[in-house]
């Protein structure tokens, strides 16, 4: 399960999705900081099928967590080599240009 929130900004569809267990947490490593803010990610709780639909419609995505990153890789939306890890928590962003 995931938390997902959709934003429509200037003709773009931004989808923010995180693994459910990461909402509200903060991760730091060296000079990197990742905050999984409720305000940004804390929309609706969605299952894998709904998350897939959201990822497919996104022109921009911000993703945090092993499960959502794995799904995005499986769908071909994110490449494994572009995933950043902060305290072993995967994070990726995607934009269709």
CATH of the domain at 18: 3.30.1860.10
Residue-wise pLDDT for 9-52, tens only, equals 999 999 999 999 999 999 999 899 999 999 999 999 999 999 99
Tell me how far apart the alpha carbons of residues 5 and 11 are, in angstroms, rounded to a whole number.
Answer: 16
**What residues make up the domain containing 38?**
2-95
**pLDDT at position 97, please?**
77
Which is it for strands 60-64 and 12-19: parallel, antiparallel or unpaired? Answer: parallel
Using the 8-state DSSP alphabet, how is residue 65 labeled? S
Q: Is the pLDDT of residue 3 over 80?
A: yes
Element (H, E) at 12: strand 12-19
Total domains in the fold of the chain: 1
What mean pLDDT value characterizes the chain?
A: 96
**pLDDT at position 19, please?**
98
pTM: 0.94
């Amino acid at each position: 399960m995931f938390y997902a929130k959709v934003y429509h900004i200037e003709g773009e569809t931004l989808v923010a999705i995180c693994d459910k267990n990461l909402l509200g947490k903060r991760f730091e490593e060296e000079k990197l900081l990742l905050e999984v803010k409720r305000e940004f990610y804390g929309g609706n709780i969605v299952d894998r099928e709904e998350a897939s639909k959201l990822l497919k419609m996104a022109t921009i995505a911000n993703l945090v967590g092993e499960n959502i990153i794995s799904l995005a890789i499986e769908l071909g939306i994110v490449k494994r080599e572009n995933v950043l890890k902060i305290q072993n928590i995967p994070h990726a962003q995607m934009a269709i240009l």
